[in-house]
A = this chain, B = another copy of it.
């Protein structure tokens, strides 16, 4: 790639003309002015400036300091904006104008791209749920009786969703080993990752109106990577009977780039066969393929420790959205829901250290840096990259 022609990318560049994810950035000369950009190659296209200079009808949305107004505008607008961006980066007639609006990625600061409304975390990998069930509940069936009837999920803490690059302080909390008679307080000794895929809701829904499987594309704007940091010792002691709380709520990292769902059309794939019949509202046998062939890579301190395949997930993102609203719960713009840890059937496809080490550790050390990346096949042999999510562990406050 030539430094002087940033619009010329190799055909297989994961952030080429078929990807075009959205983020929010600022520059050193005006650090408080957050604006929307699109990643192209290793540059950021300033969408506020593009909209202003091109007389875009969506200039107001694109001048916002978060993606939320664009998310709320609905699918037709998403498609129109995406088409305009694609033209800007691919049409030779726009080449000079577009190049003048590009900033090198390493010259900008990336921010949390949207205000998170509610955050829900699912548990949709059969491999993960089985492996974890064996570790957490060794005397019971690995999968709970409900697991194949509904996509199990729970609400997480929206206020501690942070953007990729944010350091993660090792949490303090209560831990109790089975042999101990009482809990002790101190830094988590079993700090873990969970490699997940997140879905960002754009179009809201009304209270009392379920969103069916067919509503997935109208309501979900795009996709990001999620690292659902987990303190296993805190979690194990606290989670019965009401679920994970402080073992998760200290930080959840998301990538700085939100990839439009449309960019993943080529990667749609059938989910695994379901061996237990589902109730009609979850029956996707006649729907478009609900799986996504996203290949995730987990690196710790630069070494690849796993390659979890998102295509192996038992429950799809459309089923999760449907289930989450079937009781009448409404969606808000900025709702984020994550897949749950992505784990495949192979030993090198496991999305957390708990599984990779069969519960024995080692877990994360202070100073460790964890980076998740992913790509999916795109049209014409292209690759669709998801923005990385990375974070480094800082020592606990009490250490």
Contact = CB atoms under 8 A, between A and B. Distances in A.
Contact of A159 (B149, B332, B397): B332
Interface stretch (A17-25, A55-63, A73-81, A237-245): A237-245
A108 interface: no
Interface in A326-367: 326-332, 335
A172 interface: yes
Contact of A329 (B136, B154, B249): B249
A328 B250 contact: yes
Nearest to A396: B328
Judged by DSSP, the binding face of A is loop
B331 A152 contact: no
A33 interface: no
A62 to B, nearest CB: 24
A171 B209 CA distance: 10
A139 interface: no
Determine how many copies of this chain the complex contains. Answer: 2
Given A171-B327, A231-B327, A123 B185 contact: no
Interface residues of A, number: 65
A137 B208 CA distance: 31
Contacts of A157: 118, 155, 329
Contact of A249 (B119, B155, B210, B243): B155
Interface in A112-165: 117-120, 123, 133, 136-137, 144, 146, 149-150, 152-160, 162
A136 to B, nearest CB: 7
24 contacts: A117-B158, A117-B159, A118-B157, A118-B158, A146-B176, A146-B237, A150-B174, A150-B183, A152-B245, A154-B242, A155-B249, A157-B329, A158-B158, A159-B329, A169-B328, A172-B326, A174-B279, A210-B397, A231-B327, A241-B243, A242-B243, A242-B244, A246-B326, A250-B328
Given A146-B183, A246-B327, A246-B329, 17 more contacts: A120-B245, A133-B241, A146-B237, A150-B174, A152-B238, A153-B242, A153-B245, A154-B154, A154-B245, A159-B329, A159-B335, A171-B327, A172-B328, A185-B280, A239-B241, A241-B243, A243-B244
